[in-house]
Structure 1
Amino acid sequence: MSRALVVKVTCGTDAPERANQGFTVAGAAAASGVPVSLWLTGEAAWLAVPGRAAELELPLATPVADLLDAVLAGGTVTVCAQCAARRSLTEADLLPGCRIAGAPAFVEEALRDGVQALVY
């Protein structure tokens, strides 16, 4: 049995290099067949809104929109409930396949057996 990966990205266009690193790790894991759960908190919540991931540009890096598509194809993407509420976002505002959930769901995922959690 392979380990699963939970990646939490806490920034967006305010810290593009750090955000892109989190998406790169999640996307690489998903492309490798690793079960991935990507959590978007803080300013990263905006990246789950259609068209917003394309706003995060970083020279010599895979576009975040492409990485997000890779995770959505083989894993899950969750926006923090409080972060979404502070930004007046609902699931209807998000890309298909993205969900909104709170801290209890994150803790449950991160503490499962065989899970590695990373925060960017």
Structure 2
Amino acid sequence: MTRPLAVKITCGAEAPERANQGLTVAGAAVAAGAEVSLWLTGDAVWFGVREGCPDLGLAHATPAADLVEVVRSGGRVTVCSQCATRRSITEADLVEGARIAGAASFTELVLQPDVQALVY
């Protein structure tokens, strides 16, 4: 039995290896059957934008857009409300199924029993 996993990514193309690692872990957890919630904050919010997902250009790495799709298809993608507002991103801009939510929602999630939270 797997426990729920919350993966929070706080960086984007400015830290490609760290961002890719968070996306890869989230995608691998979905593939393993875990309940995954991917939280995108700071410049990581661009990973949740339809047709705006940055190409991290990392050799030997699955493209970020493909990893987001894996998570989206089997988990939940959430974009930080303050971070989205600062970048003029609305829910209409997001990939299908993604949502915008704030710190209170993240806190509520990670305080649930058995949830494992990872921050990249």
TM-score bracket relative to the smaller structure: over 0.9
Q: When the two structures are superposed, what TM-score results if normalisation uses the length of structure 2?
A: 0.96
Q: Match of 2:40?
A: 40
Q: Deviations over 1:9-64 (max 9, x none)?
A: 00011110000000000000001110000000000001111222252221111111
Tell me the equivalent position of 2:103: 103
Structure 1 unaligned spans of 5+:
none
Distance 1:3 1:32 in 2: 11
Moved beyond 3 Å, runs of 4+: none
CA RMSD of aligned residues (A): 1.0
Tell me, yes or no, if the aligned pair for 2:13 and 2:54 is still in contact at 8 Å.
Answer: no
Structure-2 change in CA distance of 1:62 and 1:10 (3 Å): same
* 5+ long unaligned stretches in structure 2: none
2:6 corresponding residue in structure 1: 6
CA distance in 1, matches of 2:49, 2:56: 12
Q: Does 1:112 align with 2:112?
A: yes
Number of equivalenced pairs: 120
The secondary structure found in structure 1 opposite 2:6 is strand
Among all aligned residue pairs of Structure 1 and Structure 2, give the percentage whose two residues are the same amino acid: 62
After superposition, give the CA deviation of every residue in 1:65-112 in whole Å (9 maximum; x if it has no partner).
111111011100000000000000000011111100000000011111
Q: Secondary structure of 1:57's partner?
A: coil
Alpha-carbon distance change, 92 to 51 in structure 1, aligned in 2, over 3 angstroms? same
